[in-house]
Structure 1
Amino acid sequence: MKRLLTDDLRKWKDKPDRKPLILRGARQVGKTWLLKEFGKEYFSGVCYVNFEQKDVLGAIFEGTLSPRRIIEQLSVYSGTKILPEDTLIIFDEVQEMPRALTSLKYFAEEAPEYAICCAGSLLEVALHKGTSFPVGKVEFLDLYPLSFREFLMANGEDMLVDYILEGGNRELSAFTERLTDYLKKYFVIGGMPSAILKWLDTRDFFEVDDVQRQLVSAYENDFSKHAPRQMIEKIRYVWDSIPSQLAKENKKFVYGLVREGARAREYEDSLMWLSDAGEIIRTYNITKPDVPLKAYADLKSFKVFLLDVGLLRCMSGVSPKVILEGSRIFEEFKGALTEQYVCQELQLFRRLHSNYYWTSSSEAEVDFLISDGMEIFPMECKAGLTMNAKSLKVYRHKYMPRLSFRTSMLPYSRNDEDGIVNIPLYLLFTLQKELAF
């Protein structure tokens, strides 16, 4: 499976001022696989080090953090001759070895000719436990579940993707049914690599469902293994409440759905843990749509999404058989899958700030606000073929944005006079072309 982040890794490799790189992301999104494949394709050799094996590795990083000494000992440990520029060094689960994190500072300053990529699933969690960090001496990239574009490519649709990106999104009537069918499958399967591989291997939605249940169980096991003991039960309550939170018409997170009588002060640390682990995405209500959006976020009013639409479908108990029932899957529990999908897709645009929404008392709610740092663009999500966009009209009348977006199953259209762009859900990966950034 091709991951689009490979292009960013290649650019990192070719930088003249390259620093050690940390690849962040939730467990099971494919970080280790991606780094190993990148090493095989773009380097002569790969030295892979997994810090969950702490025995000998602990001794290597206990002494002086001289890069030369570490390279020598890692070469012997791995049986791989590590050469400057030619060997990719992979530090996996780097959060398990704080001294290895610290060593990145010395590699950046004293030995930048060595290419080091680190993978960390629970890195942010480890930092909150007090692990020191080489601030300013590393670079970051974030890996998410496979996007819909990557899902299309995994299914052998590279030519269709290229056609769309080259401008064919305005003449897609011949491919609308095909793209819609793939999107339905994506809502069921999601973007977790193991779920997609199972689909490609078996073409059986129920086999995929079994894999997704195992993934959910693995995340739940992580709570017990990595979270502070006093937080484990609260994390589970929050995690289990997410499908019911998103099933509401108003998807604002309500602590009362976590547990009767629950209060924010009791569960905020649990939400933070899940966010640090990359297992949830929070979007915040904006009191005033102005730049920077972060300055106007109401931190007490937010929505919580999962990291993957397929996992949300699985946790919600929506049967894979809904794939056979026309467009119903887009409307399951009040469009929750659709909004989850849009939230996921927007995470992929690193130059955009998109984890925000807008409400006007009980009058209107715009599902997402998107900012490039200069302008703010509202985006309303609609399941199916509905044309109704009342909230978007209210927002446009009040703030007069240059462009407004509606995403649904309607065909692509752009009215430059009104500044309204309709992007089909299956073409959200073309959003950057509409904003021209």
Structure 2
Amino acid sequence: MYRSAMKTLYQWKESEYRKPLILQGARQVGKTWLMKEFGQNAYEHTVYINFDSNTQMQGLFAADLDVKRILLGLELYAGVKINPANTLLIFDEVQEVPNALKSLKYFYENAPQYHIICAGSLLGIALHQGTSFPVGKVDFLHLYPLTFEEFLIATGKESFAQLLNDHDFSMVSSFQQTYMDALKHYYYVGGMPEAVLRFSQTQDFNLVRQVQQRILSAYEQDFSKHAPLEIVPKIRMLWNSIPSQLAKENKKFLYGLVREGGRAKEFETAIMWLSDCGLIHKVSRITTPALPLKAYEDLKAFKLFVLDVGLLSCMTGLRQQTLLSGNDLFVEFKGALTEQYVLQQLITDPDISLYYYTNDRGSCEIDFLIDTSCDIIPLEVKAARNLKAKSLKTYREKYSPALSVRTSMADYRKEPGLLDLPLYAASELKKLSRSS
């Protein structure tokens, strides 16, 4: 299965400034597969260590963190000689042995020639719980579910993904129906690797749903197993409320929809826990669109999205028949799936930050503001072909952005200061904005 993150791993391998790499991301987005696949393709040897319930590794890292002693222990455990010139060291579920995380500092300072990648499904939580962490001594890479372009490649449509990548929109328009059908499938299947693999092998949507339900059940089990007992019910209520939150016309998160009379103080820890797990994305409101947007963030107003559009469609009980009903799928749940989809394509870019905008009267709302560090790009998301965007017009008249974007089921079109981008090309937005 093609993952664009593989290219980043090769760049990391060749970098003269390479540090131990921490791969972050939610459970079941493919971290373990990616590390092993990279090791198999880029190195002669791979030493894979899973720290989950591994008493030998707990003992090895419990003493001192002398790198030579640790390497000897790893060699004895794996039964191979670890040669830094041709061997990749993989530490999986590394949050289970906090001293292993701490040791990365000493590998970087005393043995930088070794190539080490770490991952852990609940690593974000471990870091927030005060685990000793080698600040400045590691590199980071976040892995997300497959993007739509990765989905195209995984389902045998490499040439269609290449057309999008090449921005050959005259050719893309000729095959619009192919892209729209694939996008419908992506809304239903999403980007969780196991669901995509099952779909690519069988084209069976029932099997896809079974995979998604299994994944959602595993997340629910994680709540009980890993979260503090007192917040588990709140995590469950909050997680289960997200589909109804996104189904509103105004998708601003309301605590009252989680529980009648609910307040921020009650659910803040639950939001942080789900965010640290990588299961939700929080998009905050901005009232003054000026750089840097972070400085104008309204901490009390935000939208919550889940990690994957396919999981959201499963949580909402989207029926297979909707896939056959013209373009009804794109406007289901007041465009909730479409906004989730767009968020999912954009968030994979580490160089941009996402917010949304409303004015004080609430008469103008922009679905996403994209902070590229150089510019602020307002993005209006339309679920169908409708290009009427009253809010975007109001925003442009007031703030005169260099570039504004509408994304919908309409064809690609560009005019001064305004870009109409087909939904299926949403992941190309940043590259296109550079050339505008």
> Could you tell me how far apart the structure 2 residues matched to 1:357 and 1:121 are?
32
Matched residue type, 1:176: Q
Matched residue type, 1:420: L
Matched residue type, 1:297: E
CA drift of 1:218 comes to 0.5
The alignment partner of 1:171 has SS state of helix
- Asked if 1:222 is matched to 2:222, the reply is yes
The runs of 4+ residues in structure 1 deviating greater than 6 Å are none
Deviations 1:54-108 (A, max 9, x none): 2111111111211111111111101232111311100001111100000000000
> Could you tell me how far apart the structure 1 residues matched to 2:180 and 2:307 are?
22
Contact 2:124 2:277 in 1 (8 A): yes
Given the superposition, is the C-alpha separation of residues 191 and 359 from structure 1 closer, same or farther in structure 2, using an over 3 Å criterion? farther
- Give the alignment of 1:12-411 within 5 angstroms: 12-411=12-411
Contact 1:289 1:358 in 2 (8 A): no
Deviations 1:127-178 (A, max 9, x none): 2222110100000000000000100010122222223322312332221110
Contact 2:245 2:254 in 1 (8 A): yes
The alignment partner of 1:214 has SS state of helix
Matched residue type, 2:281: I
The alignment partner of 1:118 has SS state of strand
Contact 2:387 2:406 in 1 (8 A): no
> Could you tell me how far apart the structure 1 residues matched to 2:71 and 2:267 are?
44
CA drift of 1:359 comes to 3.9
The alignment partner of 1:273 has SS state of helix
- Asked if 1:429 is matched to 2:406, the reply is no
Matched residue type, 1:422: D
Structure 2 residue runs without a partner (length 5+):
none
> Could you tell me how far apart the structure 2 residues matched to 1:118 and 1:355 are?
30
Matched residue type, 2:295: A
Structure 1 residue runs without a partner (length 5+):
none
> Could you tell me how far apart the structure 1 residues matched to 2:39 and 2:358 are?
43
The alignment partner of 1:56 has SS state of helix
> Could you tell me how far apart the structure 1 residues matched to 2:397 and 2:298 are?
23
After superposition, the CA RMSD in angstroms is: 1.1
Contact 1:46 1:80 in 2 (8 A): no
Matched residue type, 2:65: L
The alignment partner of 1:106 has SS state of helix
Matched residue type, 2:335: G
Given the superposition, is the C-alpha separation of residues 337 and 359 from structure 1 closer, same or farther in structure 2, using an over 3 Å criterion? farther
Matched residue type, 2:43: F
The alignment partner of 1:405 has SS state of strand
Matched residue type, 1:137: K
> Could you tell me how far apart the structure 1 residues matched to 2:99 and 2:179 are?
48
The alignment partner of 1:172 has SS state of helix
> Could you tell me how far apart the structure 2 residues matched to 1:36 and 1:61 are?
23
CA drift of 1:360 comes to 4.5
> Could you tell me how far apart the structure 2 residues matched to 1:312 and 1:358 are?
25
Matched residue type, 1:311: L
The 10-residue stretch of structure 1 (150-159 or 167-176) with the greater mean CA deviation from structure 2? 167-176
> Could you tell me how far apart the structure 1 residues matched to 2:225 and 2:355 are?
29
CA drift of 1:432 comes to 2.5
> Could you tell me how far apart the structure 1 residues matched to 2:392 and 2:85 are?
52
Matched residue type, 2:16: P
The alignment partner of 1:333 has SS state of helix
CA drift of 1:23 comes to 0.3
Size of the aligned set, in residue pairs, is 435
> Could you tell me how far apart the structure 1 residues matched to 2:35 and 2:317 are?
34
Matched residue type, 2:345: E
**TM-score if structure 2 supplies the norm length?**
0.98
The 10-residue stretch of structure 1 (11-20 or 120-129) with the greater mean CA deviation from structure 2? 120-129
Matched residue type, 1:387: L
Contact 1:21 1:116 in 2 (8 A): yes
Contact 2:163 2:172 in 1 (8 A): no
Which residue in the other structure is 1:415 paired with?
415
Contact 1:285 1:359 in 2 (8 A): no
Matched residue type, 2:338: T
Matched residue type, 1:234: K
Contact 1:358 1:368 in 2 (8 A): no
Contact 1:169 1:427 in 2 (8 A): no
> Could you tell me how far apart the structure 1 residues matched to 2:167 and 2:394 are?
31
> Could you tell me how far apart the structure 2 residues matched to 1:167 and 1:412 are?
10
Given the superposition, is the C-alpha separation of residues 359 and 81 from structure 1 closer, same or farther in structure 2, using an over 3 Å criterion? farther
Contact 1:52 1:93 in 2 (8 A): yes
